[in-house]
Amino acid sequence: MAYQYFLVDRPIPYVAHVQINRPSKLNAFFEAMWLEFKTVFDTLSHDPEIRAIILSGAGDRAFTAGLDVQAASQEGILQQQDGKTQDVARKAVGIKRHVEEFQNCISSVEKCEKPVICVMHGFSLGLGMDISTCADIRICSADTKFAVKEVDIGLAADIGTLTRLPKVVGSFSWVKEVSLSARVFGAEEAYRVGYVSQVLETKEKAIQAALKMAELIATKSPVAVQGTKELLNHARDHTVADSLRYTGVWNSAAIQTSDVERAMLSGLKKTKPRFEKL
């Protein structure tokens, strides 16, 4: 499909590459973009021809600079209607609905059945953090500049960073430091705290590393890969006992797949297994 704000291609079999495509504005988002973003990932989630997804930003300057504040102010969710003062409760309900819709659009990366590898370069600010914390794997180029920017525009981040970032990295003190200060941090620091798993010299090398990773994942059983993503995400948000129980129920069905036999036989025969689409 052709999209207005995203480029989607299939560089190798079973792998999709999604690029945020508004480089003249540092790939900054406004409402039409995040609505289309959800459409892109919902479509790929159910596409049997896709087993892994790479997400990056078009252009040389930014993965995304975050929210296009000028466009957001013109879209009017915080403006009074017809110059009249709105009832506070009704205005609050409208804002809540807007935020929930926005959250659901960005969460489509996390909810996508396929693993998503996020490749960041240049500026990755504000919403860039929200998006990347939804991804399964994060890598970046050495020039990447990160920031949880929302306190600098007078609000607490509300699209996912404050919820997910503490579960992504090991230091809650560090999470609070960067979230409260909105300071910029670089690729080396992001790697040190575990926010990214690889730092490559350039954007091009980071994309190549992501392609190699996605190609490897795409050779595995899609039943196993999609199940692993589901179970890891469940484990992050639940107790050990709940997750063990959920895993048992999940695999009581999934273990009956023919992929188990194919994978085991290929190991014994030293051959490359081929798995049906899912």
240 and 132 inside one domain: no
Q: Which residues of the chain have pLDDT under 50?
A: 78, 80-81
**CA–CA separation, 240 and 235 (whole Å):** 7
Q: Is residue 226 within a helix (H) or strand (E), and if so which, with residue range? A: helix 222-237
* CA angle 185–189–195, rounded 5-degree value: 95
76 and 201 inside one domain: yes
231 and 163 inside one domain: no
Q: How many residues does the chain have?
A: 278
231 and 200 inside one domain: no
65 and 177 inside one domain: yes
Dihedral pair phi/psi, residue 59, rounded to 5°: 90, 175
Domain CATH code at residue 229 = 1.10.12.10
CB 139 within 8 A of CB 118: yes
3-state secondary structure of 184: coil
Q: Alpha carbon of 105 to those of 15, 40, 235, 259: distances in Å?
A: 22, 10, 23, 32
Q: Is residue 8 within a helix (H) or strand (E), and if so which, with residue range? A: strand 6-12
276 located within any domain? no
196 and 229 inside one domain: no
User: Tokens standing for 234?
Assistant: 């469940």
pTM over 0.85, yes/no? yes
In this predicted structure, what is the pLDDT of residue 80? 47
Helices (H), 69-151: 69-75, 88-111, 127-134
145 and 229 inside one domain: no
67 and 201 inside one domain: yes
How many domains would you assign to the chain?
A: 2
**CA–CA separation, 13 and 9 (whole Å):** 11
In this predicted structure, what is the pLDDT of residue 79? 54
149 and 254 inside one domain: no
213 and 238 inside one domain: no
**CA–CA separation, 198 and 225 (whole Å):** 21
274 located within any domain? no
29 located within any domain? yes
Q: Where is the domain boundary, 175, 194, 218?
A: 218
Q: Which domain holds residue 234?
A: 220-269
Instruction: With both helix axes pointing from N to C terminus, report the angle between 222-237 and 240-254 in degrees, rounded to the nearest 10.
Output: 160
**CA–CA separation, 95 and 106 (whole Å):** 17
